[in-house]
Amino acid sequence: MRFRLLRRRLTVSAPRVAIRSALPWPLRWLLGAVVLGFSAALALWAFEFGQDIAGLDRKSKKELAALRSEVQTLRSDLERAQSVADISESLLTTEKAAQERLTQMIRQLEADNRALRSDLGFFENLIPSTGSEVLSIRSLQVERLSEGQLKWQALLIQASKTAPDFNGVIEIELGGLLEGQPWSLDHSDAPQRVSIQRYLRVEGVVDVPPFVVVQTVTARILQGSAVKAVHTVKL
């Protein structure tokens, strides 16, 4: 009987035996993770220590610091260049606006010059091409500014294009009625001096006494005591 039991235990037909660890599986995994972490930390420390011994880490840090400084310098240069570009663009815009204003002014001056040339040609056509040096009052216009003032304008022309400059005075005389009686006003005590080369436009304002009805206005050009031209208009 004992022999059979011993043979059953020692042969293939013997019952299976399971060997179980005393530690649970979670603790096994935790212990394995701690061992792996410690191994990785030890390997990293050995690597960095090797770099410190070889001087590679210090060199890399210096190069990194130099690169950062160069990047900062380049950024500063870029900002200054951008600022200069903005200022240049603003100056170009201002200069362009000023150039456009100057162009408009030049066009306006050219238009005024053409108008003046046209007026000059018109007045030159009014002057006859004779050799006479006669001075004349070509036009006399009168405008009432108020009850007590009249404004007059006269165009004086020398008939000859080669006539010398004329220097003299122009006097204005008013004629009309005051309370039904003939009335006149002579401004010979305050004449207006004129200097004429080819043509001249002169004007002035005359005070009129109250209750006067002005009917005529006469302009006279004098050189010394000699009357050179007379022109009268009726109102």
List the pLDDT tens digit at each of the 235 positions of the chain: 555 655 555 555 555 555 555 556 666 667 777 777 767 777 777 666 665 655 555 566 777 778 888 888 888 888 888 888 888 788 888 888 888 888 899 989 988 888 877 776 666 665 554 444 578 888 888 888 887 888 888 888 887 767 788 888 888 888 888 887 888 887 766 778 888 887 788 888 888 888 888 888 988 888 888 888 888 888 8
List the beta strands (DSSP E) in the chain: 135-146, 149-158, 166-178, 181-186, 192-196, 199-207, 212-223, 226-234
Write down the pLDDT at residue 16: 57
Q: Which residue has the tokens 């979670």?
A: 26
Q: Enter the pTM of the model.
A: 0.45
Q: Based on the number of CB atoms within 10 Å of its own CB, is 220 exposed (0-12), middle (13-18) or buried (19 or more)? A: buried
Write down the pLDDT at residue 208: 85
What SS3 class is residue 115? helix
Write down the pLDDT at residue 128: 54
Q: Indicate the residue type of 170.
A: I
8-state DSSP, 162: T
